[in-house]
Amino acid sequence: MSTDRVTGGIGPGTAGAEVLRRFIDAINTWDFDTIRDILDPGCVFEMPFAPGGFPRRIEGRAATVEFLSRMPDFIEPENLHDVTIHTFTDDPAELLAQYRSATRLRTTGAEYGNSYLVRARVRDRRLQRFAEFYDPVPLVVAMGGTVQVPPV
C-alpha cells in the first residue's frame, strides 16, 4: 500500500514537488525522455554513500542521463514507493523526499530493497540537484558482496 504525499505550503513549493515527483515516476518506468526534459543542463546528481564502483557525483544533464540509461541492464524497475516530498517554506526550490524501493538486480537475480532520503533543488521547473542518500549495505549484499562487522 502506497502512502505517497506532498507536505509543505501551497504555492511556489508545490511546482517543485510536482517536478520531483515526475522525476521519481520517470525513474520507475525508465522514461529517459522525461528524465532528460526534467533535468537542468547543469544539474548535479549525487549518491554520497554509493558503494565502490558507482559514481558519487555526476555533473550535467548528458552525463546524468547516460549513467541512468545504463541502469536497466543492472536493475529491474526500482518500484520506488511510499514517496513523501517535503517543501521548505523559507526556500520553496529546496525539497526533501523520502521513499523506499523493492526490486531485483538483473546481474545477480537477488532481491533488493532500501530506504532513501533525497535533497533536491528545482528552479524554473528543472531539477538542478538530486542528492540521494541510502544505506549501501543492502546493495552490496544484493550484488553478491559481504560486509563484515567486527565484534563490539
Host domain of residue 67: 5-142
* pLDDT-derived band at 14, boundaries 50, 70, 90: confident
Is residue 134 one of the residues assigned to a domain?
A: yes
Q: 75-96, pLDDT tens digit by residue?
A: 999 999 999 999 988 888 999 9
Is residue 31 one of the residues assigned to a domain?
A: yes
Domain count of the fold of the chain: 1
Q: 17-63, pLDDT tens digit by residue?
A: 999 999 999 999 999 999 999 999 999 999 999 999 999 999 999 99
Is residue 149 one of the residues assigned to a domain?
A: no
Is residue 117 one of the residues assigned to a domain?
A: yes
Is residue 40 one of the residues assigned to a domain?
A: yes
Q: How big is the CA angle at 87 (ends 125 and 93), to the nearest 5 degrees?
A: 35
- What three-state secondary structure class fits 53? coil
Q: How far is CA 117 from CA 43, 52, 99, in A?
A: 18, 20, 7
Is residue 115 one of the residues assigned to a domain?
A: yes
- Record the cell numbers describing residue 120, joined without a space: 533536491
Is residue 29 one of the residues assigned to a domain?
A: yes
- Record the cell numbers describing residue 137, joined without a space: 549495505
**CATH code for the domain of 43:** 3.10.450.50
- Report the distance separating Cα 97 and Cα 2, nearest Å: 15
Centroid of chain to Cα 123: 18
Helix (H) or strand (E) segment spanning residue 152: none
Is residue 150 one of the residues assigned to a domain?
A: no
* pLDDT-derived band at 13, boundaries 50, 70, 90: low
